[in-house]
Structure 1
Amino acid sequence: MPWWKEKRTYRYLFVALLVGLIFYFLYLVRGLLLPFVLAIVLVYLLNPLVERMEKRGSPRVAAILMLYLGVIIVVTSLLMYGVPRMVNQLEKLVETIPTYTDQVEQLINQIQQRFADSAMPPGVQQIVEERITWVELKAMEMVRKAIDLLLGILSNLFYIALAPVLAFYIMKDLKELKQWAISQFPRQCYADVLRLAGEIDQVFTNFVRGHLTVVLIVGVLTSLAFALIGLEFGVMLGIIAGLAELIPYFGPLIGAVPAVALALLQSKWLAVKVIIVVVIIQQLEGNVISPKILGDSIGLHPLAIIVTLLAGGHLFGIAGMLLAVPLAAIARILVKFTWEKLC
């Protein structure tokens, strides 16, 4: 019988069509995926602790509720201490933005005046002035995007608050959900499905737990260091530097730019100290922290990671850079598995 008349061929086509429809549906409701994504992150962070408590004799639901209570106490304490300081820093930043804006405008005017007084050809001067204007516009665009991001977070507070509820039900019935998912495949595929699921789960585990641990450590170290050297808004800039660690290779540079820029507006010596702090922390992160926590967690060549980050950033901005590496690692697993089966 020709392959196009076999039942197996139609079954594969049906599965491919079903997967395509599922992805298309997820694309249509992509605005509603935030609580599910956050819930999955919470599950990866909290489920190992739940399982440890369950092994010690605690009922699973009670373990989850006790863990939630502990998280609420810790988060509330941090918010009670950190939010007033963050609000004070934001208020101070709002008050000092006009001063910083005037300083930046004066610096730009000085640069433009120097180029105007130089003996450069008029065409080159025009190109340089256009580039300076372009940099200024890009800086303003970045500020607007940052404000839009903050407003977007505020507008999604309901979805963010929904994430712990979804995570609770996922963790409560996690074993049943896994068994149900496996049972949807033919028995002869169980071994392959378990292998693929295990490898993909390992990628997510390394990315979520490992990278968030690195983010926390780098954020705390950077905030403390910035506060010690007297940098204004040090805590806020340290948090930005920590979050930027989610982006491999480019993250440290992205996180350092705001701190160096603000320090430069205060004094050149402070900018030098900020650069020294950033270099020291990045050396610790690159040579001590990440190797200990992450190891070779992704399994991709550095060149492949860089290309993936550039592509993700070009297509989807910061969100694309954040998700590009784990998605590329999963794609590598799927391609490798398919190639093995075909060959």
Structure 2
Amino acid sequence: MTSDYRWYWAAGLAALLALIYFLQPILAPFLIGMLLAYLGDPLVDRLEARGLSRTLGVVVVFAVVTGILIAALLILIPLLGHQIATLRSNVPAMIDWFHNAALPWVEARLGVQVSDFRLDSVRESLADNLGKTGGVLATVIAQATRSTMALVTWTANLVMIPVVGFYLLRDWDVIVARCREMLPRRQEPLIVKLLGECDEVLGAFIRGQLLVMTCLGVIYWLGLWLVGLDLALLIGMLAGLASIVPYLGFFVGICAALIAAVFQFGDLFHLVAVVAVFSVGQMIEGMVLTPLLVGDRIGLHPVAVIFAILAGGQLFGFVGILLALPIAAVVMVLLRHAYRHYRASAAYGEPLAENYEVDTVRVELDEEEQR
């Protein structure tokens, strides 16, 4: 690639970033629709392999997913509203215990002054905020219907997501083929190889890790429900969402569940039962869910996920959050390619073969050390 074409690519990238920045308000439905198309393409491909047309396969996938989402919302929203109300009623007692028992114990044992803690104001603030979240759907609708323009925009975005997703999913293979035809002929093999690695990384995370998160949330919810915990659904969903980072969901969920069990039951049996629920969940994740849904594919590192989401949100808001993981996958693959290129270059020292794998080198070095 000549220097002139490199300048063209740099200018195109700069123009793309500028468009993303200025078009943030309207990009979210298109990005969500693109995500739906990306996630649904393997399912539609399987239906095509069974003899269905592309359009009919897309209709079947959309109908099934829509039915599942509607059923889940109809079941979960009332339950979540009830559990948030329960949490709101328990918050004052939790803060009082923390103020009257836990903090004096810390002060007596460690000599730390806790008189500066303004827990009364914290209790009032939490109670007010939790009270507002009790009617999440009503709050969203109220905000969206304050003006006619806001209502029209909100409705249009909501309708555009499935429409954009449907058409992108129907023409996904055609779009991919057309994009491949536009690649420079000399660089096409390398670009296709890198994009394949990006798809593997991103697919391993989105299709695999998100399914693991959902399954863990359901497992924790049902387990805590069997224990008898009033906040089982709320804690299970929180632990499932936090499982986007390995072990974070386990830590957050078990801490929240133990605190809730102490205030609801106050005995050792239920605390042991909570620990057993999360221990079983971790065993199922390690032995069944991760090998089955993610496999041995290399996903995104947890630190890279956290940094990408925070950086994307800081730079481009909600649109940046949607773009964070795809961009992180591309950057990760490019860094791997640059690392392999460096290891195979004379700048590293002894040149390696062009496609020589670093893991093979490490294995040979370990074998020599053992000898």
Shorter-chain TM band: 0.7 to 0.9
Query: What corresponds to 2:61 in structure 1?
Result: 67
SS for the counterpart of 1:231 is: coil
* Mapping of residues 111-260 of structure 1, within 5 Å: 111=101, 114=104, 118=108, 124-125=112-113, 128-130=114-116, 140=126, 147=133, 159-260=157-258
Query: What corresponds to 2:304 in structure 1?
Result: 308
Residue 19 of structure 1 and its aligned partner are, at CA, apart by 0.6
**Larger CA deviation: 241-250 vs 58-67:** 241-250
Call closer, same or farther: CA 1:297–1:165 in 2, change over 3 Å: same
Q: Which of 95, 99, 104 is the matching residue for 2:94? A: 104
Residue 340 of structure 1 and its aligned partner are, at CA, apart by 5.1
CA contact (8 A) 1:206 1:297 kept: yes
* 2:294 counterpart of 1:294: yes
* Rounded Cα–Cα distance in structure 2 between residues aligned with 1:314 and 1:111: 36
Q: Which of 42, 46, 49 is the matching residue for 1:55? A: 49
CA contact (8 A) 2:202 2:325 kept: no
SS for the counterpart of 2:197 is: helix
**Larger CA deviation: 275-284 vs 321-330:** 321-330
Residue 341 of structure 1 and its aligned partner are, at CA, apart by 5.7
* Rounded Cα–Cα distance in structure 1 between residues aligned with 2:47 and 2:264: 51
* Rounded Cα–Cα distance in structure 1 between residues aligned with 2:258 and 2:106: 28
* Rounded Cα–Cα distance in structure 2 between residues aligned with 1:45 and 1:153: 27
Residue 198 of structure 1 and its aligned partner are, at CA, apart by 0.9
* Rounded Cα–Cα distance in structure 2 between residues aligned with 1:286 and 1:234: 22
Residue 61 of structure 1 and its aligned partner are, at CA, apart by 1.0
Gaps of 5+ in 2: 145-153, 346-371
* Rounded Cα–Cα distance in structure 1 between residues aligned with 2:276 and 2:155: 37
Residue 199 of structure 1 and its aligned partner are, at CA, apart by 1.0
Corresponding pairs, count: 323
* Rounded Cα–Cα distance in structure 2 between residues aligned with 1:293 and 1:329: 18
Call closer, same or farther: CA 1:104–1:288 in 2, change over 3 Å: same
CA contact (8 A) 1:227 1:234 kept: yes
Call closer, same or farther: CA 1:322–1:218 in 2, change over 3 Å: farther
* Rounded Cα–Cα distance in structure 1 between residues aligned with 2:122 and 2:279: 27
Residue 115 of structure 1 and its aligned partner are, at CA, apart by 5.5
CA contact (8 A) 1:203 1:326 kept: no
CA contact (8 A) 1:298 1:326 kept: no
Q: Which of 261, 264, 267 is the matching residue for 1:263? A: 261
* Rounded Cα–Cα distance in structure 2 between residues aligned with 1:67 and 1:120: 59
Scaled by the length of structure 2, what TM-score is found?
A: 0.72
CA contact (8 A) 1:182 1:193 kept: no
* Mapping of residues 265-280 of structure 1, within 5 Å: 265-269=263-267, 270-280=270-280
Residue 205 of structure 1 and its aligned partner are, at CA, apart by 1.5
Which letter maps to 1:308?
A
* Rounded Cα–Cα distance in structure 2 between residues aligned with 1:183 and 1:134: 65
Call closer, same or farther: CA 1:48–1:106 in 2, change over 3 Å: same
Scaled by the length of structure 1, what TM-score is found?
A: 0.77
Q: Deviations over 1:154-197 (max 9, x none)?
A: 65675354322111111111122112212222111111121111
Query: What corresponds to 2:350 in structure 1?
Result: none
Q: Which of 76, 84, 93 is the matching residue for 1:93? A: 84
Call closer, same or farther: CA 1:175–1:289 in 2, change over 3 Å: closer
* Rounded Cα–Cα distance in structure 2 between residues aligned with 1:231 and 1:114: 28
Q: Percent of pairs identical after alignment?
A: 25
Ranges of 4+ aligned residues in structure 1 off by more than 6 Å: 151-154, 317-326
CA contact (8 A) 1:44 1:208 kept: no
Gaps of 5+ in 1: 1-6
* Rounded Cα–Cα distance in structure 2 between residues aligned with 1:327 and 1:77: 33
SS for the counterpart of 2:261 is: helix
Call closer, same or farther: CA 1:277–1:112 in 2, change over 3 Å: closer
Residue 255 of structure 1 and its aligned partner are, at CA, apart by 3.6
**Structure with higher helix content:** 1
SS for the counterpart of 1:268 is: coil
CA contact (8 A) 2:231 2:260 kept: no
* Rounded Cα–Cα distance in structure 2 between residues aligned with 1:329 and 1:279: 31
**Larger CA deviation: 100-109 vs 24-33:** 24-33
* Rounded Cα–Cα distance in structure 2 between residues aligned with 1:119 and 1:72: 56
Residue 322 of structure 1 and its aligned partner are, at CA, apart by 9.5
CA contact (8 A) 2:205 2:299 kept: no
Call closer, same or farther: CA 1:11–1:98 in 2, change over 3 Å: closer
Call closer, same or farther: CA 1:276–1:62 in 2, change over 3 Å: same
SS for the counterpart of 2:2 is: helix
